Amino acid sequence: MGVGAVLLAVVLLGVWPESPSSYRSTVESSVQDAVSAVGTARLTAQSALSGNTFGAYESTALEDVGDNLTTAVTDVIELPPTDQDTRRLRDEVLPPLQDSARIVGDLDLAIQNDDRDAINACVAGLTAVGDRLATTLERLR
């Protein structure tokens, strides 16, 4: 009976719902990671426009950025909200996180196709979404 109770406690701790503060902390971390990733993507795009990088570097950098953004989005999606406030927070941060991932995908294609207009559009999009994420991050702190 004692071992069963211990196992039950371990299982319950593993599925115990997050507190609002730990949820907020996870979201803050995801947004911070996204701010950094968006900045890296924007710098990569600007370097590509100026011809200061090689295609292999750009591809690798954008793959890393995409992986970081995927993780940020997944961390927020997979964590169930704890209350109405955390649900609102999730609904606020998911669109710019998803926009960031979409724009980085578009940027990768634009760089592969050497489409300067599309790269410039991605830089503008990354700047706008980066500002939205940075504003959100400031509110979370």
pLDDT > 50? residue 8: no
Over range 66-84, report the average pLDDT.
Answer: 94
Q: Give the closest residue to 111 by CA, choosing from 71, 52, 70, 69.
A: 52
- Per-residue pLDDT for 85 more than 50? yes
Nearest 5°: phi and psi at 103?
A: -65, -40
| pLDDT band (50, 70, 90) for residue 11 | very low
> Quick one: which of 98, 122, 126, 97 has its CA closest to 111?
122
Q: pTM of this prediction?
A: 0.83
